[in-house]
Amino acid sequence: MKKYLMAPGPSQIPEQVLLEMAKPIIHHRTKEFEAVLEKVKKQLQFVFQTKNDVLLHASVGSGAMESSVVNFFSKGDKVIVVRSGKFGERWSEQAKIYGLEVINLDVEWGNSVDINDVKKLLEKEKNVKGIFTQICETSTGVHHDVKALGELIKKHPQTLMLVDGITAIGVSNIKTDDWGLDVVISGSQKAFMLPPGLSMMSVSTKALKFAEQSTLPKYYFNVLKELEMLAKNQTHFTPAISLIQGLSVSLDMIFEEGLENVFDRHEKLAQATREGVKALGLKLFAQNPSNSITAVYAPQGIDGEKIVEHMFKKYGFTIIGGQDHVKGKIFRLGHMGYCSIFDVVSMLKALEFTLKDLGYKKEN
């Protein structure tokens, strides 16, 4: 049976990217590798919409999350973490493990953070050194207004704005520099159309000053050392060479399509998915849904996990269920990266068949 990967990540990988990564490995301390990194570096700045360098870690996204904790802060620093789902929880746990004083701003799953709550918390809590938030909280499919957050934090010279754009960069129009986003991270296995294992991080000049003061322990994840090496088109340790070569090809594909067209395509795919599930009589979970994934309530009486299982077994579509307290209650459809309207239309048809097989009847 033909398989379709329509998960919230990893996402589908184009053939040209796979073929590039299948080439014999090259050595990284060579002019050949440096030329690839130099090109990728420039293209990433364009995609991240920043003049600052975008460094690469050979790690999954959670590594970049950890790196953003250890590189900009010191033990006891006070930070606010927007906890609106699994990934907000992860950042909060990482910050706590490294000894930061964490103020959790809890947002009900499915909702976006209210900028006024952040404002109030900043007024109440003195000396906040950083605010962490996802752009798209992948566990709920919510999109947070990081533009408003960035504009707010611009007025706070002692506070950094750190955002997790793992399911947002290359999907939505995120203006890193214009919006004052100091640290933006992303990962390879989503809109960058690659396997997992490579993460990216843009670092503002404001964040660089924080990095110079930071005393938390760090060894592999050392942003200042990485930036120093990146200036020479090199990495501190052995990079994920094949993934970087693959990235060079996937970035070319993004450039060929045009960044605005990439955003536009994602918006259309997301709209089509939302309208499709609503036409089936289903309800969206996210109040302000992202363009990368769509979280949907399972219909009354049907376990969301059963929908996920049946879609795969009978129709070959990998979609993903809910986590923690929404397990069985929601399921999540991915439509980011190497994804076209025909992927979405087929996925919606497979969902319709699945619901029918499971005895669902649309209420009028």
Ligand X SMILES: Cc1ncc(COP(=O)(O)O)c(C=O)c1O
Nearer to ligand X, 49 or 138 (CB): 138
Q: How many CB atoms lie within 10 A of CB 329?
A: 16
| HSE, side-chain direction, 13 A CA sphere, residue 191 | 27
- Contact between 196 and ligand X (CB under 6 A)? yes
- Contact between 134 and ligand X (CB under 6 A)? yes
Alpha-carbon dihedral angle through residues 53, 161, 223, 33, given to the nearest 10 degrees:
-30
Nearer to ligand X, 84 or 245 (CB): 84
Q: How many CB atoms lie within 10 A of CB 86?
A: 17
- Contact between 294 and ligand X (CB under 6 A)? no
Nearest alpha-carbon partner for 167 in 343, 339, 326, 10: 10
Nearer to ligand X, 60 or 284 (CB): 60
- Contact between 9 and ligand X (CB under 6 A)? yes
Binds ligand X by CB under 6 A, chosen from 20, 39, 41, 62? 62
Shortest Å distance, C-beta 175 to ligand X: 19
Binding segment for ligand X (CB under 6 A), chosen from 56-64, 111-119, 122-130, 338-346, is 56-64
Phi, psi of 185 (to 5 degrees): -115, 155
Question: Per-residue x/- mask for ligand X, residues 75 to 94, rule CB under 6 A?
Answer: ------------x-------
Binds ligand X by CB under 6 A, chosen from 166, 193, 243, 339? 166
- Contact between 183 and ligand X (CB under 6 A)? no
Binds ligand X by CB under 6 A, chosen from 138, 176, 214, 291? 138
Alpha helices in 85-204 (DSSP H): 86-97, 115-124, 146-154
- Distance, CA of 122 to CA of 131 (rounded, Å): 10
Nearer to ligand X, 189 or 354 (CB): 189
Shortest Å distance, C-beta 61 to ligand X: 3
- Distance, CA of 43 to CA of 37 (rounded, Å): 10
- Contact between 214 and ligand X (CB under 6 A)? no
- Contact between 60 and ligand X (CB under 6 A)? yes
Amino acid at 192: F
Helix (H) or strand (E) holding 278: helix 259-279
- Distance, CA of 148 to CA of 181 (rounded, Å): 10
What is the binding site for ligand X (CB under 6 A)?
9, 60-62, 87, 134, 136, 138, 164, 166-167, 187, 196
